[in-house]
Structure formats: C-alpha cells, structure tokens
C-alpha cells in the first residue's frame, strides 16, 4: 500500500481511502439498511491490505453508513483514521452540536479524526463556516471530540485558493478524476501550502466505464486492464493527492482498488499525455452531437434540450449510464435544475431551425428519452 502524510496533520494515511457512501444494502427503498456482515467483510479486507482512512457522512446509505463504519473500526485491531461530516448551511449552533453528538454515538467512537464541513462553496464558507461554525469546530477540537478540521468542497479553483489562504482547514476533500480535472490547479495550490488533499470520485463515482474504453486503455497499455483501474492510477499519479477516496460497493471493487494502490507504479508523463489526448478526442466526439450553445432555446414546452443531450452523452460517450439516468430522472424536480424532459416535446420543430449543428433534435430527444429511461442502460 502506498502511504502519504496528510498535509501537516501529522497523520500518515494510505493513498487509497475507503469511501463508505455506496456500501451494499439490504431491504427496499427508504427502509433499506447496510448489509452489515458483507460491508464489514469488505472494509476489513481493505484494512488488511493496508487502507487506514475511511470516510462516511450522516446521510450516506440511508443514514446507516456511520453505524457500520464505527463497528468495522471498533472491531479492527489497529488504528484507523475516521473522517465524517457536518452540514455547512446552518446558523443554529445547537443543531450543529447535535449532529456531532449523533455522529459520535452512531460511530461508537470517542472522537473523529478528520471532521468536515460538508459540501462547502464560496457562499457557505463566507456566510456560515467562517463567521459561525469555525468557532464551534475549534471548541470541539479543544474538547477532544475532533482532531482535525476539514472542508469537503464543490466550487471553483479561485474559491479553493481563497479557502486555502484563509489558513482555516487542515484538510480539503474535492472531486477530481479523469473526466473532471477542473480543480487540478487548486489541488496543487493546497498541497504546496501543506493542506491535506483527499480526492473523492477518483473512478467517476465507481462507475467510470467510457464507451470507447479500448482506445483509452491503448493509451497506456501496460498500466491497466480496465478503465476504473486506469482512472485510479491516474489520480494516484498526481503527487498533490494524498488520499483517493473510492466508494466501494462490492468485494471485487475492494480487490481491484487495493491491487492498484499497492503497486507503486505511476503513470509516466507520456502515458498521462496519451490518455488526455484520447479523452479530448472523446470529448470532441460528444461536442459533435451538441455543443451546449443553447441557440435552440427557449422551447415553448420548456424542454431542456442541451441538458438532455449532455446527460445522454454522459451515457453514450462516457459509459456513465447510472449517473446519466439519475440526472435525467431528477431534471425539473430540483430548484437548481429546471426544465422539462424530452417527453414534453410537442414536435413543433422550432428548435431545429435554430441549431447550428443541424442536429435532428426531435429524433434525438426521443432516442435520449428512451435510452435514459431504459433500465438496461445502468
Ligand atoms: S420540437 Fe419539441 S423540443 Fe423543439 S422547440 Fe418544439 S417542443 Fe421544444
Ligand atoms: S442549438 Fe443545437 S448544438 Fe446548440 S444546444 Fe441546441 S441542440 Fe445543442
């Protein structure tokens, strides 16, 4: 297993972390709970292979992840670094403390090693974290309930730099993978300044498939046999990344991940360049279908044409059918994601006369709708 210092925390952590957000479940829908025996066997297999960092959160696995993570850690003979989170949009101090107490109770542990403000962005950092929650975090640290302060982060490089420059968090957890390298500069900036860098989604949420996987794998033929393996190796080859947190849902994922993280072979600059070249080709291929320019809008029926094509491409170009279908089902149901799905189209044809790509929009909308609701495309 590869290890790295987690910034200046003094912790030495495995570069592969166990993400406990997709543990195997038993039961249906909202009533489903984590399949304790299977999940603990998976977690212990990862610990046995040298993984010593595990991350959970209040809401993961129908709110049952912390219980199982706690049991797995308590029944393991050696120290494990436990990370969890507290939501970051509240000014209510008693609510914040209640969340911390509940997490400690569910985990069954006396303290949390790395405690995150969950899903921080520029607005929440300025309006909630710094003026209110930072004092609560420091108090919890003084009381020995938490060891290190962290932020899980979703925003731009500029905001990330600003948070790093504030000198507040000791660790940041950010999204970074082959398909989403937007925060690469911010990650390097944080690492240079001694902030521990944890990456979530290193293999695209565990489902990175890539439709044209043969071409991608041919870019670095000796590095990996499967795209998820290549994706994890790609993230671990970035020296600014201390921990790659992989959400593992089956023993096969655990075995594949520990195998990659135990092998110190990094991708060469030439291999990385070749992989990025292949990804760029795939990205261009998706732009041939729809560039997202929005000239076809507005649609009189509110059909969110470019968003639908973007989700369709997520499946047919990148092989990410699971997230694509989820995002399509959610379209129009969340305040920040307005618009109608393709079945609202009345076939008026207005959009097609405005599309510079000459896309047969109506036909492609129908295809997208069928594919995105097709349970075979998972
Ligand atoms: S053809 Fe359908 S998607 Fe295009 S503008 Fe008319 S209703 Fe909207
Ligand atoms: S006008 Fe054409 S290319 Fe532009 S967003 Fe609409 S469908 Fe896509």
User: Which tops the pLDDT comparison, 24 or 211?
Assistant: 24
Report whether pLDDT(211) > 60.
no
Percent of all residues in the chain with a pLDDT value above 70, rounded to a whole number: 95
Clarify whether residues 135 and 250 are in a common domain: yes
Examine residue 23 and state whether it is found in any structural domain, yes or no. Answer: yes
Examine residue 147 and state whether it is found in any structural domain, yes or no. Answer: yes
User: Which tops the pLDDT comparison, 270 or 163?
Assistant: 163
pLDDT of residue 333: 87
User: Each residue of 158-169: b (16+ CB within 10 Å) or e?
Assistant: ebbeebbeeebb
Strand partners, 86: 117
Counting from 1 in the atom list of ligand 2, the atom nearest the Cα of 354 is 1
Please give the Cα distance from 21 to 63 (Å, whole number): 10
In this structure, which residue's CA is closest to atom 8 in ligand 1?
299
**pTM for the predicted model, two decimal places:** 0.76
- Ligand 1: distance of its center to the CA of 369 in Å? 14
- Ligand 2: distance of its center to the CA of 333 in Å? 23
Counting from 1 in the atom list of ligand 2, the atom nearest the Cα of 364 is 7
Clarify whether residues 251 and 357 are in a common domain: no
- Please count the structural domains in the chain: 2
Clarify whether residues 99 and 230 are in a common domain: yes
User: Which tops the pLDDT comparison, 375 or 143?
Assistant: 143
Examine residue 275 and state whether it is found in any structural domain, yes or no. Answer: no
Examine residue 89 and state whether it is found in any structural domain, yes or no. Answer: yes
User: Which tops the pLDDT comparison, 158 or 256?
Assistant: 158
Among 268, 299, 332, give the residue marking a domain's end: 268
Tens digits of per-residue pLDDT, 34-44? 999 999 999 99
Say what the alpha-carbon torsion angle 176, 179, 182, 188 is, to the nearest 10 degrees: 50
Clarify whether residues 153 and 205 are in a common domain: yes
Clarify whether residues 157 and 226 are in a common domain: yes
Clarify whether residues 75 and 201 are in a common domain: yes
Tens digits of per-residue pLDDT, 56-87? 999 899 999 999 999 999 999 899 999 999 98
In short, whether 359's Cβ falls inside 6 Å of ligand 2 is yes
Please, is 324 exposed, middle or buried when counting C-beta atoms within 10 Å of its C-beta (0-12, 13-18, 19+)? Answer: buried
Examine residue 284 and state whether it is found in any structural domain, yes or no. Answer: no
CATH of the domain at 161: 3.20.20.100
- Ligand 2: distance of its center to the CA of 184 in Å? 29
The band of 315, judged by pLDDT with boundaries at 50, 70 and 90, is confident
Clarify whether residues 210 and 304 are in a common domain: no
Examine residue 378 and state whether it is found in any structural domain, yes or no. Answer: no
pLDDT of residue 277: 82
Pocket, ligand 1, Cβ cutoff 6 A:
299-301, 303, 305, 345-351, 361-362
Could you write out the three-class secondary structure of 178-226? CCECCCHHHHHHHHHCCCEEEEECCCCCCCCCCCCHHHHHHCCCCCCCC
Examine residue 283 and state whether it is found in any structural domain, yes or no. Answer: no
Mean pLDDT score, 280-304: 83
Mean pLDDT score, 90-116: 94
- Ligand 1: distance of its center to the CA of 322 in Å? 26
In this structure, which residue's CA is closest to atom 7 in ligand 2?
290
Examine residue 7 and state whether it is found in any structural domain, yes or no. Answer: yes
Clarify whether residues 250 and 311 are in a common domain: no
Clarify whether residues 194 and 55 are in a common domain: yes
CB 20 within 8 A of CB 42: no
Mean pLDDT score, 214-236: 77
Please list, in sequence order, all residues whose beta carbon lies within 8 angstroms of the beta carbon of residue 347, skipping any fewer than 6 positions away.
362
- Ligand 2: distance of its center to the CA of 72 in Å? 50
CA 313 from centre of chain: 19
pLDDT of residue 209: 56
Clarify whether residues 229 and 302 are in a common domain: no
Percent of all residues in the chain with a pLDDT value above 90, rounded to a whole number: 55
Clarify whether residues 161 and 255 are in a common domain: yes
In this structure, which residue's CA is closest to atom 2 in ligand 1?
345
Mutation pick for ligand 1 pocket among 304, 351, 360 (CB with most ligand atoms within 8 Å) = 351
pLDDT of residue 174: 92
Query: What range defines the domain where residue 253 resides?
Result: 3-268
Clarify whether residues 206 and 89 are in a common domain: yes
- Phi first, then psi: what are they for 254, rounded to 5°? -60, -50
Average pLDDT, the chain: 88
Please give the Cα distance from 214 to 184 (Å, whole number): 26
In short, whether 364's Cβ falls inside 6 Å of ligand 2 is no
């Amino acid at each position: 297993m590869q290890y790295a210092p987690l910034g200046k925390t003094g912790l030495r952590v495995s570069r592969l972390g166990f993400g406990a957000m997709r543990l195997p479940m038993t039961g249906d829908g909202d009533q489903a709970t984590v399949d304790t025996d299977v999940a603990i066997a998976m977690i212990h297999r990862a610990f046995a292979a040298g993984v010593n960092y595990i991350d959970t959160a209040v809401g993961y696995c129908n709110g049952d992840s912390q219980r199982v993570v706690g049991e797995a850690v308590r029944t393991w003979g050696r120290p494990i670094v436990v990370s969890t989170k507290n939501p970051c949009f509240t000014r209510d101090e008693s609510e914040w403390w209640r969340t911390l107490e509940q997490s400690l109770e569910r985990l069954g542990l006396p303290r949390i090693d790395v405690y995150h403000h969950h899903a921080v962005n520029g607005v929440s950092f300025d309006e909630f974290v710094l003026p209110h929650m930072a004092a609560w975090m420091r108090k919890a640290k003084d009381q020995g309930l938490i060891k290190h302060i962290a932020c899980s982060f979703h925003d731009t490089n500029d905001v990330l730099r600003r948070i790093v420059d504030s000198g507040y968090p000791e660790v940041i957890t950010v999204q970074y993978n082959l398909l989403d390298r937007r925060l690469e500069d911010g990650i390097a900036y944080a690492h240079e300044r001694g902030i521990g860098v944890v990456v979530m989604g290193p293999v695209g949420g565990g489902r990175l498939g890539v439709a044209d996987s043969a071409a991608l794998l041919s870019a670095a033929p000796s590095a990996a046999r499967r795209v998820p393996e290549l994706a994890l190796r790609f993230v671990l080859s970035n020296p600014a990344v201390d921990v790659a947190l992989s959400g593992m849902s089956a023993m096969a994922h655990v075995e594949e991940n520990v195998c990659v993280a135990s092998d110190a072979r990094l991708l060469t600059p030439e291999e990385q360049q070749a992989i990025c070249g292949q990804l760029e080709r795939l990205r261009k291929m998706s732009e041939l279908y729809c560039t997202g320019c929005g000239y076809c809008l507005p649609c009189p029926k509110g059909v969110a044409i470019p968003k639908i094509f973007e989700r369709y491409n997520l499946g047919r170009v990148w092989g990410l059918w699971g997230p694509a279908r989820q995002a399509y089902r959610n379209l129009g149901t969340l305040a920040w994601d307005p618009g109608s799905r393709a079945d609202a189209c009345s076939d008026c044809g207005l959009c097609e006369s405005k599309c510079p790509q000459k896309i047969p929009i109506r036909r492609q909308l129908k295809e997208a709708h069928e594919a995105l609701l097709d349970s075979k495309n998972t």
